[in-house]
Amino acid sequence: MHPDLERIALISDVHGNLTALEAVLADIDARGITRIFNLGDYVGKGPRGREVVDICRERCEVNILGNWDDFLPNPDRTFDNDAMRWWLAQLGDGHGEWLRGLPFSHDFLMSGRRVRLFHASSTSVHRRVRFDHDEEEFLGMFANTPATGDGPVPTVVGYGDTHDAYYEVDRERRTLFNTGSVGNSMDDPTPVYVIMEGVYGSAEPAPFSLQFVRVPYDVEAELAVARAMGLPEYAGYEAEIRDGIYRRDAEKGEPVAYHRKSRVAVG
């Protein structure tokens, strides 16, 4: 192993699923990885957003804003949805301000590559880029925008949001990857995170790798907690974390696969 190589664990979309987060953190600890970057969406969907926020504030060196983190605790927004009000009430004192104050993106060097991490897209936490994007969307993920700020454009971009892990490169050696979701993974509901390995902070070319890790956990224990706490939209949560079926599809009686199209090759 290269003497200067370092590993960073990238997690995203925990969504209040404390049981899954604890399993993933245990796996990260067992590998001796101490640096954890979180790409957002700590709350909503699952029952224990408060606990997830507290743990991520303590354990994660970098925490990034997600779409749920932006809209759920928005003081200027009023919800007429009982589920939204329930998830909001689970947050502790100061959690809303902390979540909404998180940075949009995080840039750093790794083995001569310029890495940028954000939650959903280069323009907004509320704009979704799926795995079956076109070339224009691919290139847009590497662009500087008012949200990311100016500076050297990245050659590696990692994001979350879609709960759908994948990896893609083009002939210009640009690399785009999605971390998938720790707490709400689709199709395969097993929590997934990414290990990035390289020489951290170095502008010189060196070995660089990305590894996707699936971590089994006690789904039934998480569902038992959700029932005991009176989680709203419980049936949707169960469909997602037990079977990997998006709750809106489950409600329609259409348990179709989350992947609806073949992935588009770029380059």
Beta bridge partners of 200: 110
Task: Give mean pLDDT, residues 232-258.
Answer: 79
Q: Which CATH code fits 6-251?
A: 3.60.21.10
Structure tokens at 214: 């699936």
**pLDDT tens digits, one per residue of 204-243:** 999 999 999 999 999 999 999 999 999 999 999 999 999 9
| Structural element, H or E, at residue 11 | strand 6-11
Residue 253: predicted pLDDT = 61
Q: Which residue has the tokens 């932006």?
A: 70
Structure tokens at 131: 């795995």
Closest to 181 measured CA to CA, from 61, 21, 13, 42? 13
Q: Are 35 and 7 in contact (CB under 8 A)?
A: yes
Residue 165 pLDDT class (50, 70, 90 cuts) = very high
Residue 240: predicted pLDDT = 95
The whole-angstrom separation of Cα 93 and Cα 132 is 39
Residue 256: predicted pLDDT = 52
Whole-model pTM?
A: 0.92
Domain ranges for the chain, please list them.
Answer: 6-251
142: which residues sit within 8 A by CB, 6+ positions away?
116, 122, 153, 154, 155, 157, 174, 176
Count CB-CB contacts under 10 A for residue 260. Answer: 8
The whole-angstrom separation of Cα 53 and Cα 42 is 6
Q: Identity (one letter) of the amino acid at 241?
A: I
**pLDDT tens digits, one per residue of 19-64:** 999 999 999 999 999 999 999 999 999 999 999 999 999 999 999 9
Question: Is a pLDDT exceeding 70 seen at residue 265?
Answer: no
The whole-angstrom separation of Cα 196 and Cα 181 is 16
Task: Give mean pLDDT, residues 183-200.
Answer: 96
187: which residues sit within 8 A by CB, 6+ positions away?
164, 244, 257, 258, 259
Residue 80 pLDDT class (50, 70, 90 cuts) = confident
**pLDDT tens digits, one per residue of 59-79:** 999 999 999 999 999 999 889
**pLDDT tens digits, one per residue of 91-122:** 999 999 999 999 999 999 999 999 999 999 99
Eight-class DSSP state of 200: B
Residue 220: predicted pLDDT = 98
What percentage of residues in the chain have a pLDDT greater than 90? 80
Residue 1 pLDDT class (50, 70, 90 cuts) = low
